[in-house]
Structure 1
Amino acid sequence: MPRKMSPLLIVILALIGVGLIAQMLNNPVQLIIPVVVFGVIYLLYKFPPGGARASSAKPRSKQANRRDPQASKPKSRKNIPFRVIEGGKDDDNLPKYH
């Protein structure tokens, strides 16, 4: 988040605040559905359902946790230096495709 807020952002946030206050004074019942929807989304974000998380993740044994992840990779990679392929460039200034 930027340390200094731009004037445009301040104006937009002020207008949002004025609009929400005016809506609450005129007809507060219309704000119930958006508040409930955002509340449910926030709760599901903070506390995800345990059934979906537990079924997808398999418990690992202690030996699997101790093993180094790099130890399982094969180290049969050869060091091959780069090769330069000699080639020539056409000296024609005309493009090949017209």
Structure 2
Amino acid sequence: MKKQAVFFWIIIALAIIGIPEALSSTQGLISILIPLILFGLIYVLYKYPPKKYQKTPKIKPSARTAAKLAQQRRTSSMSSNTGKRKSYPFQVIDGNKGKNDEDTPKYH
């Protein structure tokens, strides 16, 4: 823990020395302002995202609404299943070929 604290204070001391030094020249001012503006812009976008990227809160429907929706789903699914499906009397017919164990693949 102490090594981290020493490292932190060394970085702070270097920043205190380096920022005024960088601000003294014109090139240094630009090199500090651009990252600050970028970090500020990213922070603002993170804190206040645009409306199209915000998640809308889910509103739980009331018990009456949920019951109506469930009833509508049941009636529509039941009526559509009976209309589309037909029952065919399928029957398996045994073939005339004899089964040969040598012809079957080894992996079955």
TM-score by length of 1: 0.48
Structure showing the higher helix proportion among its residues: 2
TM-score by length of 2: 0.44
Q: Larger C-alpha radius of gyration, 1 or 2?
A: 2
